[in-house]
Amino acid sequence: MKFSIINIIVSALLLVNVSSAHCDEAIVSAKLSEEFRWLKEESYVWSASKYEQKTSEAPSLLSIISSDEIRKFGYRHLADILQSVSGFYITYDRDYHYVGVRGFRLPGDYNTKILLLIDGHRINDNVYQQAFIGEDFPVDIDLIDRVEITRGSGSCLYGGEAFFGVVNVITKKAKHINGVEISAEGGSLDTYKGRLSYGKKFSDNAEILFSASGYDTQGNKQLYYKKFDDPATNNGIAENLDGDKYNKLFLKMSYNDFTFTGVHSSRNKDVPTASFGAWFDKPYCSIDRRSYSELRYDHSFDKDTHVSSRFYYDRYTYYSEYPYEGMREDESSYLYYNRERDVSEWIGSELKLTRKINNRNNFTIGSEYQYNIHQDMTSYDDDPYQITIDSQNKSGIWAVYFQNEFKLRDNLILNGGLRYDHYESFGGTFNPRLALIYSPFDKTTVKLIYGTAFRAPNIYELLSDDMAHGSVTLRRPEKITTSEIILEQRFGKYLQGGVSGFVYNIDGLITQVPFIETWTTFENTDDISAKGIEAELRTKWENGLSASVNYTFQELKNTKTDDVLPNSPRHLIKANLVIPLISDKIFISSQGQYMSLRKTITGNDIEDYFIMNTGLLCTNIIKRLEFSASVYNLFDKIYADPGSEEFRQEIIEQNGRTFRFKLTYSF
């Protein structure tokens, strides 16, 4: 149910002025102990090697974003989280959010080169291979315990789509909720959200977590597009066509060594941009529904031997209705719709064994199988009725992988991995990773990493190519070879830093190219070379004061044409700051993000921009009640992202200043 923004503001002001209530000291102490654990000991990560290890021993450059940071900075979705870390940047086309990594985010690529996981479960679908990072991400952001971001090629363990890295979202456990929790939000653009969660730990080996949430925003009431500035197309103004809504369900149950997870999300987005040649200022939408269920078994035979297996069922459906202008025999125009329904459905399993030998040799061996029951794309025009796409597909993928971590000396680790994936469409591919990790001093680590990764052409790309050429010419996967050197350093108790230099080369890049005005195709056309540097400093204190700053330089070129790639900024600068106004109770946060100029697909420049977000978090003022407020794009900066081939607009303007209020109560 929608609620009044004015009521929220008044309630917030009353809460700030109310006298402080005494909190449960044991709970606060436990939270502080967990939050500042990394000040006393090193952080651990799972995603780099598929088992828990120290970050200094992981064969990758890593970022870990905690739930504490998510709350303090007011992140609204996974895209906000990724935007905050070094080497990542986000673009938005008023339908989906897309992620760029280390200078690469070609317009028209549907997040196919990042592997997205939830608790190790693959989220990329089997038709578009899309990683959902905006409102379409299937789990509520309040249920995230932490996000592990692993950069570099990851196909040696994960197979396809782990091209530039792996993003693994670790969800909360029942103990994090410990009862019933309700949350309500309101903000600009008539935006409202509500959530109800329940978590209960019945014993040391049995617990349950359930959550339901809903979101609704009207969006911008008017959006102006110069390309359509004509009386026949409402003078370029799209009215009431920016709405967005979703519903999400989450269930996780554990008993002994078994864990069952069930996820369902449904998102409906109004699209104002008239993409794919649609009739401008006519209502149409895209609907994404993503579901999965997984049963996982984890068992340790002893402290050195661990086995894990999982069985899963996934489903993704996409619906769209695109309005088009038809012409009658008397040359009068009429409205008809092209309706699309894509269904993808798959089942799979994985078996993994991890074994430690003599505290110096830690090896992992595993196998995966996925059977794609449906990879179907269908569409038709409704007036006159005509089928435009009718493609049903099935396929299977199997893989085996091996990784060995060997301690040559107490401060020198050799980590090597190899995976073989076999696709029915093109055959097999081997992808290795080799890392040498050296710690010359107690707080200093140097990593040398080499690896390869691949991405097979997906059903959408193959179908587009088939329709354009009459036969499928796009056959081979695109490949990437990466080399990286990383220096990580801890300075005393509170300061950490790192710098990374990387080089990568892409062979046979699958590129979106125009075919006709309303259709694009994909081809293995380009080879890409890139080099860059990432550097970061971060600090955190017991009183809650924290700060970080990172800088990324990246330079990408098409080796065939020597052209700079579109949507590839050379410089990224980001700074994050949290200041405790009252220890453990009130925090203010600030974020600054700078992106240098980028090219559009036609070669024109998009100017650079700097935006700032700020937030306020009040907790423990009244027992079990938490209040937060955030302002995004504080200075109301006008900026834009480049459009892709399906848009007639060269650039897509982004939102100006927006705000959000949030209340969370636990009982």
pLDDT in tens, 66-125: 999 999 999 999 999 999 999 999 999 999 999 999 999 988 889 999 999 999 999 999
- pLDDT of 351 higher than 80: yes
Answer whether 271's CB lies under 8 Å from 241's CB.
Answer: yes
pLDDT in tens, 374-383: 999 999 999 9
Q: Each residue of 2-30: b (16+ CB within 10 Å) or e?
A: eeebeebeeebeeeeeeeeeebeeeeeee
Q: Each residue of 463-493: b (16+ CB within 10 Å) or e?
A: bbbeebeeeeebebbbbbebebebebebeee
pLDDT at 513: 72
pLDDT in tens, 537-558: 999 998 889 999 999 999 999 9
- pLDDT of 275 higher than 60: yes
- pLDDT of 199 higher than 60: yes
pLDDT at 566: 94
Tell me the pLDDT of the chain averaged across its residues: 90
pLDDT in tens, 583-622: 889 999 999 999 999 999 999 999 999 999 999 999 988 8
pLDDT at 584: 87
Q: How many CB atoms lie within 10 A of CB 454?
A: 25
Structural domain spans, the chain = 5-666
CATH code matching the domain that covers 5-666, chosen among 2.40.170.20, 3.40.50.1000, 1.10.287.130, 3.90.340.10:
2.40.170.20
Cα 384 to Cα 664: distance, rounded to the nearest angstrom = 52
- pLDDT of 532 higher than 70: yes
3-state secondary structure string, 484-499? EEEEEEEECCCEEEEE
- pLDDT of 11 higher than 60: no
Backbone angles phi, psi at 40, to 5 degrees: -100, -30
- pLDDT of 9 higher than 50: no
**CA 436 to each of CA 156, 404, 497, 500: distance values in angstroms, whole numbers, following the listed order:** 16, 12, 20, 14
pLDDT at 329: 85
Q: What is the DSSP letter of 165?
A: E
Cα 549 to Cα 286: distance, rounded to the nearest angstrom = 37
Q: Nearest 5°: CA angle at 452, between 447 and 455?
A: 135
pLDDT in tens, 35-66: 444 444 568 999 999 999 999 999 999 999 99
Cα 195 to Cα 180: distance, rounded to the nearest angstrom = 11
Neighbouring-strand partners of residue 236: none
- pLDDT of 21 higher than 70: no
Helices (H), 179-252: none
Q: What is the rounded average pLDDT of the residues 212-227?
A: 96
Q: How many CB atoms lie within 10 A of CB 210?
A: 17
Cis peptide before 384 (omega within 30 of 0): yes
Q: What is the rounded average pLDDT of the residues 312-336?
A: 93
pLDDT at 466: 62
Nearest to 244 by CA among 364, 374, 128, 97: 97
Q: Coil, strand, or helix at residue 3?
A: coil
Q: Which residue has the higher pLDDT, 450 or 442?
A: 450
Answer whether 83's CB lies under 8 Å from 161's CB.
Answer: no
pLDDT in tens, 171-188: 999 999 999 999 999 999
Confidence of residue 12 (pLDDT cuts 50, 70, 90): very low
Least confident of 195-199, 211-215, 582-586: 582-586
Beta strand ranges found along 517-570 (DSSP E): 519-540, 546-558
In terms of Cβ atoms closer than 10 Å to its own Cβ (0-12, 13-18, 19+), residue 293 is: middle
pLDDT at 510: 86
Cα 407 to Cα 410: distance, rounded to the nearest angstrom = 6
Q: What is the DSSP letter of 34?
A: H
pLDDT at 330: 85
**CA 444 to each of CA 56, 85, 420: distance values in angstroms, whole numbers, following the listed order:** 9, 22, 34
